[in-house]
Structure 1
Amino acid sequence: MMNIMHPALRRLDLNLLPVFDAIYRHRSVRLAADELAMSTSALSHALSRLRMTLNDPLFFREGHRMSPSVYAAQLAPSIASALSFLNQELTPQPEFDAASSTESLQIGITDFTALCIFPALMHKLQAAAPGLRFELRYLPHSPALTELLAGEVDLALGFSTPEESRHPELEEIGWFEDEYVVICNARRTRLTLEDYLVARHLVVTPWNEKQGVLDVRLEQLGYTRHIAIKTPSMLSAPFIVAESDLLMAIPRYAAEKLVAAAELRIFALPFSIPRFEVKIYSHKRSGQRGATRWLQEALQMLVQNSIKASTAAGGSRREGRVI
């Protein structure tokens, strides 16, 4: 036999509970009706239905007052508590106000997204949303599917890969694209395809992947390269490159940031490859939060106003020069 959940509630019109609560507090049908914006006859009818459902008189008229029965007195605290809790929990969520919010957002990142985005983002938010807090978590993989589905992160800023398949519960926003360039030590004066292929390379593999998109593309062209070192972190990479003969292919915007930290040159990648793409991933559930939506819009605006302009201006100015 099928179990019926909440059998007592199924036979009770829950709209009658505020009627009970109001009569109990006011000890008056008239005052209870005024509070609930009901006519006294409608409230009396509701009380009759409640008496019938609970099989108890609930209230007795004593002079001008409605006195509770023993059963009503037992029910009253629980009904008042339940109504208070439901009223609090079911109150519509207020519109997100960035200026006053103290919410905490969990963001899945890589070295690249942290380096390229968060300095500018925190500069912007120190005035627009000074109380908003972030917990940055390194992505164990992209697009952090497991973490987003489990609600462990609100947003993930990750790379798009050609073999990536869309999950029906995830929302993805194309955030920005960039071209690959090559950084090297300041002593190099040219970079042809032949130079690139005979050189040794440093490759950043944030998820310890076996093969990157550049190596897939080189195989398609019939080439291979000599990878001398793989590292999951971009933090040490520019300093290793600056002190060695290693080459490192990297999105231009990151390269423009890194040349300020080490003596490097930037060269165009000497073969064609699709542009580097970063997406904002969110779960359709968490993505509906006001704070999450606001941050997505702030990130997109940041890209429009900062990254694209900087990349366009910096590309022709710094190509092949020591910075």
Structure 2
Amino acid sequence: MQTEPNSNPNGQDVLLPPDGDDVPRVQDLDLNLLKAFHAVYVEKNVGRAALRLGMTQPSVSHALSRLRLVFRDALFVRTPGGVEATPRAQRLAGSIDRVLRILQDMLDEGAQFCAATSRRVFRLHMSDFAESAFLPTLMRELDTRAPGVVIETHHIEDSQFNMAIESGRIDFALGHFPHASSHFHFSELLQERYVLLMARRVARRLELDEHFTLGLNAPDGLHFIAVTSHPQATELLERYGLTSRVRLAVPNFMVVPAILSRCDYALIVPHTVARAFSTPGDSAMFEIDDASTWPVNAYWHRRFDADPGHRWLRGLLMELFRIGAREPFDSWLGAPLDLAPDSAHNA
């Protein structure tokens, strides 16, 4: 095979293969060769290109030699000030620059999430009380930090819960889900418990002071709303012989504030929901004997651990709601609610 001489950037002759029908193939290249070409083209000096890349000068020269064989062109020739690109190299430079930018954009997409400009939609599965407790605070923060981000809440049947998270149909589930798969990751947000909630006027009429605790001592004339989606609350009513006093049964908590504002009823409700539904000065909340606690968690599938947007929202949820032993409402639902009628009435 005959070859023709040409000059490398160091002034030595290199042998280029003769022109033929073969064209360069993608498998003849690797990313380091393109990076070396780009650095030499920009710096117009092999030594400075090596410094730019954090490589040795011989390594850059070797990369250029491999590229010459691929493209059958000297690519760069020596000049008094460094090297100059050949016409072929000048034509290649634009394409190589675009390729490197595309690759960098691809890598950036997997490593960055700009909350301030993102328009991403996050889908959350939340229990009814989790919606009441978490959404107002979460949306207030998103309005400030991520005004283009959209939250969709979904109610998933228990039989579809694990599949919805595994498939990515749901980004997070917030609540108490003992049937969640062991493959899911979760973080505890708070410990929840049931309390007794009523309008303050009802507490005054029944003369309930701040030391009252619901048990077997429920006063006559106290009637209840039962929320059928929370069997634990129903169990507490049964434990203390109060089921005969239930005047209304509803499937969720959404209608409760309107009813309490107009009717002299009480209900057993999760503590955080009581905080979310209460208006300071108009509501009274009391403890319940032997009311057990349970964790409210954020669940997600482990395959989304490294997703930048997922990590950002996960961090925000932890920042807003995972607050250790402190009462959650003190930090994100407003001023603490009095547990009993106001002091003016007691006086």
TM-score by length of 2: 0.61
What SS does the aligned partner of 1:47 have? Answer: helix
| Partner of residue 230, structure 1 | 250
Please state how far the C-alpha of 1:286 moved relative to its aligned partner.
Answer: 4.2
Give unmatched runs, 5+ long, in structure 2. 1-23, 209-213
Matches within 5 A, 1:126-165: 130-133=144-147, 135-141=150-156, 145=162, 148-151=165-168, 154-158=171-175, 160-162=176-178, 164-165=179-180
The equivalences for 1:92-103 within 5 A come to: 93=111
Q: Distance in 2 between matches of 1:167 and 1:34?
A: 50
Question: Which runs of structure 2 are paired with 1:113-192 in the superposition (5 Å)?
Answer: 113-117=130-134, 130-133=144-147, 135-141=150-156, 145=162, 148-151=165-168, 154-158=171-175, 160-162=176-178, 164-168=179-183, 170-184=184-198, 186-187=201-202, 189=206
Equivalent-residue separation in structure 2 for 1:57 and 1:25 (angstroms): 18
Instruction: Find the residue that maps to 2:68 and give its secondary structure.
Output: helix
Partner of 1:45: 62
- What are the Cα deviations for residues 287-318 of structure 1, in whole angstroms up to 9, with x where unaligned? 5545235314412455654527699x969842
1:184–1:242 Cα contact (<8 Å) kept: no
Alignment partner of 1:16 is 2:33: yes
Give the letter for the 2:312 counterpart: A
Equivalent pairs counted in the alignment come to 297
Select 2:225's aligned residue among 198, 201, 212.
201
1:260 alignment partner in structure 2? 279
Counterpart check, 1:56 vs 2:77 = no
Distance 2:50 2:187 in 1: 52
1:257 Cα shift? 4.4
In the other structure, the counterpart of 1:3 is none
CA distance 1:82–1:316, shift in 2 (3 Å): same
Secondary structure, counterpart of 2:181 in structure 1: coil
Query: TM-score, normalised on structure 1?
Result: 0.65
Counterpart of 2:107? 90
RMSD: 5.0
Superposition deviation, residue 250 in structure 1: 0.4
- 3-state SS, counterpart of residue 268 of structure 2: strand
Q: For the structure 1 residues 38 and 278, does the alpha-carbon distance in structure 2 shift closer, same or farther, using more than 3 Å as the test? A: closer
Query: Quick check: 2:197–2:284 contact (8 Å CA) kept in 1?
Result: yes
Residues 70-98 of structure 1: per-residue CA shift (max 9 Å, x gap): 4x55543322111122234436957x99x
CA distance in 2, matches of 1:151, 1:195: 47
Q: Which one-letter code corresponds to 1:249 in the other structure?
A: I
- 1:58, 1:227 → 2: CA distance? 91
Tell me the secondary structure at the aligned position of residue 145 of structure 2: coil
- What are the superposed Cα offsets for residues 238-292 of structure 1, whole Å, 9 maximum, x if unpaired? 322453465422013432443427955545446x453243112233344554523
Counterpart residue number, 2:301: 283
Secondary structure class of the residue paired with 1:166: coil
Change (3 A) 1:184 1:16: same
The corresponding residue for 1:292 is 313
Query: Alignment identity in percent?
Result: 24
Tell me which amino acid in the other structure corresponds to 2:197: I
When residues 38 and 176 of structure 1 are mapped into structure 2, their CA distance, relative to the original with a 3 A threshold, is closer
Greater Rg by CA? 2
Q: Where does residue 340 of structure 2 map in the other structure?
A: 318
Structure 2 CA distance for aligned equivalents of residues 200 and 183 of structure 1: 10
Letter of the aligned partner of 1:49 in structure 2? Answer: R
Could you tell me which amino acid in structure 2 is paired with residue 203 of structure 1? V
Q: Quick one: distance in 1 between partners of 2:339 and 2:31? A: 71
Measure the CA separation in 2 of the matches of 1:256 and 1:33: 63
Question: Would the alpha carbon gap of residues 253 and 165 (structure 1) be closer, same or farther in structure 2, given more than 3 Å must change?
Answer: closer
Shift of the 254–282 alpha-carbon distance from structure 1 to 2, 3 Å rule, reads same
